Amino acid sequence: MILARNTPVWHYLTRRSQLLAAASNGRVIAFRRAYHDESFGFRKPRQFTMPDYSPTELSNRAVNAPLQRYADALRTHGHRAASIDPLDLLRRERVPALEPSRYGLSDPNTTYDIRGILWTGHGPESNDQWSLRDITKFLNNVYVGRIAYEYMDLPSKTERLWFAHLLESQSSTSMLHFSAERKQRIHQLIACSEVFDTFLQTKFPNLKRYGLEGGESMLPALDALVGEAARAGITHVVLAMPHRGRLNLLTGLLGYDPASLFHKIKGGAEWCIEGGQFAGDVLSHLTASPILNYDRKEIKVALLPNPSHLEAINPVALGKARAKQYTLLQALEKGGKGAEGCMLGDKVMCVQLHGDASFTGQGVVMETLGLSNLPHYTSGGSVHIVVNVGYTTPASSARSSLYCSDVAKMINCPVLHVNGDYPEDVVRAVEIAFKYRNYFRKDIVIDLLVYRRWGHNELDEPSFTQPLMYQKIRARRSVPALYEDKLIKEGTLEEDAAASVRKSYKATLTDALAVSSSYNPPLVKLEGQWSVTKIDGNSVKMVWPGSAAAQTFDTGVDAEVLREAARASVSVPDGFDIHPRLQRHVKNRLAALEKGDGIDWATAEASQSEWAMAFGSLMLGGCDVRIAGQDVGRGTFSHRRHAMLVDQKTEGVVVPLNHVLSKATGKLELANSSLSEEAVLGFEYGASWERPDFLPIWEAQFGDFFNGAQVIIDTFISSAETKWAKQSGILLLLPHGLDGAGPEHSSSRIERMLQLTNDPYSPQPDVNVNMHVAYPTTPAQYFHLLRRQVKRNYRKPLVVAAPKGLLRLAAASSRLSDMLPGTKFHPVIPDITPTNTVERVILMSGKLYYDLVKERAARNLDERVAIIRIEELAPFPFAELTDVLRPYTSNGMNRIEWTWVQEEPKNQGAWGHVKDRLAVVLRALGSDGHVKYVGRREDAVPAPGIGETYRVQQKAVMDGAFSGL
């Protein structure tokens, strides 16, 4: 980050801390840990320290302690008296703390030494003796104006000093003054926004457009923010916002074609896809990704698609921003320029817009804020703009805090409140916010207090519940009109020029409306990083899922490569003190690898040391892998993954996959997360949008923990491809299986995932199922599923009902030969029982298979009962299942009894999904399609909490599977 020379802030930092400035060019040095010190992707928060006050300043602060208390009171409490409400409806009580007499300061003519107390920006030759009258005026001008600041509660003294110096030293500098050109730019944005809203209200009076009337200052705020970012060297802005003002932003700043918008309003599509299914989305979710230019600096602004669930887009944007930064870092490394000088946040900035009510009320806001400074989740600081329109519910019923922004204080985030009636003050607040974000690389909030001229939408009547507010709103002139009057009065803008801006833009909209009926929506193409992916070292063109060109490539790996990699994966760095229990674990895994059988789940996935079979081979192919979730490094509750090792003496961390396998161009990031589901899953999903040669995985601590992230699954993972033409290779690992754990923690609610799929009830050509759901029973199957996610020329979300009881079950192991070239994932696994002796065919899915096999052997029924495993439930494997079942029909269909067995209750598990589809397969083979259900009866919970009841129910399932034989 470059700090401009010869500015008051530069002089201040140079004078107070040589530690923070490089001698020649003013570059601030921030030390960080290298990859070999921490696991890949670890980003330690930037640390800034400054020396204490000089002896002279400390002495003066002691002598003038009352003045110091008074100055700090203005800094701390000035916001309580600031003029930040455009409607003047905030109940503002007298603030005694802001009166100098409270501190024994009474005579306005008394002079005080201000050194170490105020930061006026004056040099050492200036007068440091100020009268109380001047001090009071100065502090009130800074802290009790139309911008209010909350920064004195920050725990960092450095940040508090930074704010005080910036605000006080530049209170009378160029930050307060705008050129005529800049003012005219502000006028153009807000005037055109007003024309746009008026035009839509006239032409489409029944349209719910969620206009920006009253909140037009949002546009110059974003314009200033993007411009500051571009001039600072940032090349990408990832923008998340809700519905309010979205159409104004799209057409006014982001270059969205009004003809396309009008075409959509009339019922047309926003775009089309060649060979793909597309349902589209509503007006208030439209997107754009233009490249804007500020002072010959190009910057791409990606406005992400959002669902109607407020604030759900926030973690998605954060994940996308971090993933984009890593893409740029990799580009620097591949270009030979090196990435050491590039910090997170240098090139990419996340900007999140919020509503005041949702910022306070939606839990995902707090979850996402909680990620902002974590080492595996920070993106280098987000700028939050709360468009505070005044919810139709009074604030007294909408929140328990003074400000809607108070929730951000959970991460020690500074807050700037600004009156939206004054666009220039809004722009200044944005500039201050960006300076803070770009310096400290931390989040900051702008509380933009505005109003909405209409209710929730243009067809709503807000005065039903807010009569006094809307009396004021309907009696006042608009923000653009007030600002236009100001510019005309001061001579910055001529009346004719102002009228010309409005007339010209209205003509543009009129012309666009005229051609909208014949408008042809553009064809969406896979471009940029999504146009090509690398598979086995070869460039492969990406296609739309479901198209004729969609295919899966070989997921097997050469045996010697697997052995060499697995041996390396259990190597421990010299001098590294590994836990004694893991030493035994390493020996057992090596022995299994040498024999070529007994490969367990962890070995198939990621092994303990340097690289493992699935992840290691993907990394060698240039694919990055990221596993996120709670305690994923070792595997929840000591699951046998142990992909990260912790030195027992120093607590140093090493990820052997990255440490030893130096020739792999891909990396493994183990992102141990906070105890959050919705934000963490949203973050990983956002990262999956960045590029196809990346495997993002979210592992739930328990399968039913996804409940807290259901909004992300419903509105993004299961539907984004259909709504927004966005592919994703996100993989969800949801531990599943009844094992006596009780009502919770037993089920991943697989029935919910299956219900979300558009899996057809009968075989269809070129079917494009929105997401895949699998319940594998062997490590080899799991291995192939992991690799298949990126060994295709398209991307598709995958939900895996992951093993629980199978992790340590000896029978649930695979041979090395099951993972060699030519092997693959099998949606259906047949039984080895001779078909001519079978009387009953059990169809099932998941871990219950091993219990059934054991029970079958105990009852001497190995030749009379076949157990068929359906490993992939969606897309339902019609063809594969038909092939497996056909041999059982050759000796007479009538003597075969078809049974579905599951341990979940009848109203849960896979039964509801497979019942009709199994009937289709059996009818095609000549049967009547009847399948007997064996399992628990309907229940309100997945499993009982009473141990004896669980055992009785489990025994009943086993008895039912084999009864009558």
Please tell me the distance from the alpha carbon of residue 74 to that of residue 162, in angstroms, as a whole number: 16
Single out the residue of 521, 534, 493 nearest to residue 182, CA to CA: 493
Residue 16's pLDDT band (boundaries 50, 70, 90)? very low
Burial class (CB in 10 A: 0-12, 13-18, 19+), 873: buried
- Specify the higher pLDDT residue, 430 or 703: 430
DSSP state of 453: S
CB 676 within 8 A of CB 606: no
pLDDT of res. 1: 34
Q: Is the pLDDT of residue 61 over 80?
A: yes
DSSP state of 44: P
Please tell me the distance from the alpha carbon of residue 381 to that of residue 348, in angstroms, as a whole number: 10
pLDDT of res. 894: 61
Q: Is the pLDDT of residue 574 over 90?
A: no
Q: Which tokens belong to 42?
A: 């670890």
Q: Is the pLDDT of residue 6 over 60?
A: no
| Model pLDDT for residues 577-606, shown as the tens digit of each residue | 888 888 776 776 667 666 666 666 665 554
Q: Is the pLDDT of residue 435 over 60?
A: yes
Residues facing residue 383 across a β-bridge: 351, 444
Residue 948's pLDDT band (boundaries 50, 70, 90)? very high
Please tell me the distance from the alpha carbon of residue 788 to that of residue 579, in angstroms, as a whole number: 34
Please tell me the distance from the alpha carbon of residue 896 to that of residue 51, in angstroms, as a whole number: 84
Residue 701's pLDDT band (boundaries 50, 70, 90)? confident
Burial class (CB in 10 A: 0-12, 13-18, 19+), 792: buried
Q: Is the pLDDT of residue 38 over 50?
A: yes
Q: Which tokens belong to 249?
A: 């932003």
Residue 949, CA atoms < 13 Å, CB-side half-sphere: 9
The bridge status of strand 444-449 relative to strand 382-388 is parallel
pLDDT of res. 395: 77
Q: To the nearest 10°, report the CA torsion of 134, 135, 140, 143.
A: 140
Residue 608's pLDDT band (boundaries 50, 70, 90)? very low
The residues, any chain, with a CB within 8 Å of residue 942's CB and separated by 6 or more, are 704, 738, 743, 744, 746, 747, 749, 904, 905, 908
Cis peptide before 100 (omega within 30 of 0): no
**What's the distance, CA 262 to chain centroid?**
31
Single out the residue of 449, 479, 385 nearest to residue 79, CA to CA: 449
pLDDT of res. 609: 31
Considering the chain, what is the average pLDDT of its residues?
A: 88
Q: Is the pLDDT of residue 710 over 90?
A: yes
Single out the residue of 179, 176, 177, 151 nearest to residue 72, CA to CA: 151
pLDDT of res. 656: 80
Q: Which helix (H) or strand (E) holds 493?
A: none
Single out the residue of 34, 38, 32, 43 nearest to residue 655, CA to CA: 38
pLDDT of res. 27: 34
Q: Is the pLDDT of residue 14 over 90?
A: no
- Specify the higher pLDDT residue, 608 or 700: 700
Residue 878's pLDDT band (boundaries 50, 70, 90)? very high
Q: Is the pLDDT of residue 714 over 90?
A: yes
Segment among 311-325, 660-674, 917-931 with least mean pLDDT:
660-674
| Model pLDDT for residues 831-844, shown as the tens digit of each residue | 998 888 999 999 99
- State the average pLDDT over residues 190-202: 97
- State the average pLDDT over residues 852-881: 97
Segment among 502-511, 630-639, 900-909 with least mean pLDDT:
630-639
Q: How many CB atoms lie within 10 A of CB 517?
A: 11
Q: Is the pLDDT of residue 341 over 90?
A: no
pLDDT of res. 335: 61
Please tell me the distance from the alpha carbon of residue 869 to that of residue 866, in angstroms, as a whole number: 10
Residue 621's pLDDT band (boundaries 50, 70, 90)? confident
| Model pLDDT for residues 455-476, shown as the tens digit of each residue | 888 888 888 888 888 888 899 9
CB 140 within 8 A of CB 80: no
The residues, any chain, with a CB within 8 Å of residue 764's CB and separated by 6 or more, are none
Please tell me the distance from the alpha carbon of residue 558 to that of residue 78, in angstroms, as a whole number: 69
Backbone φ and ψ for 954, nearest 5 degrees, come out as: -65, -40
Q: Is the pLDDT of residue 340 over 70?
A: no
- Which of helix, strand or coil describes residue 668? strand
pLDDT of res. 159: 94
CB 440 within 8 A of CB 2: no
pLDDT of res. 538: 87
pLDDT of res. 598: 61
- State the average pLDDT over residues 75-97: 91
- State the average pLDDT over residues 188-199: 97
pLDDT of res. 639: 54
pLDDT of res. 600: 64
Q: Is the pLDDT of residue 398 over 60?
A: yes
Overall pTM > 0.85: yes
Q: Is the pLDDT of residue 662 over 50?
A: yes
pLDDT > 70: what percent of the chain?
89
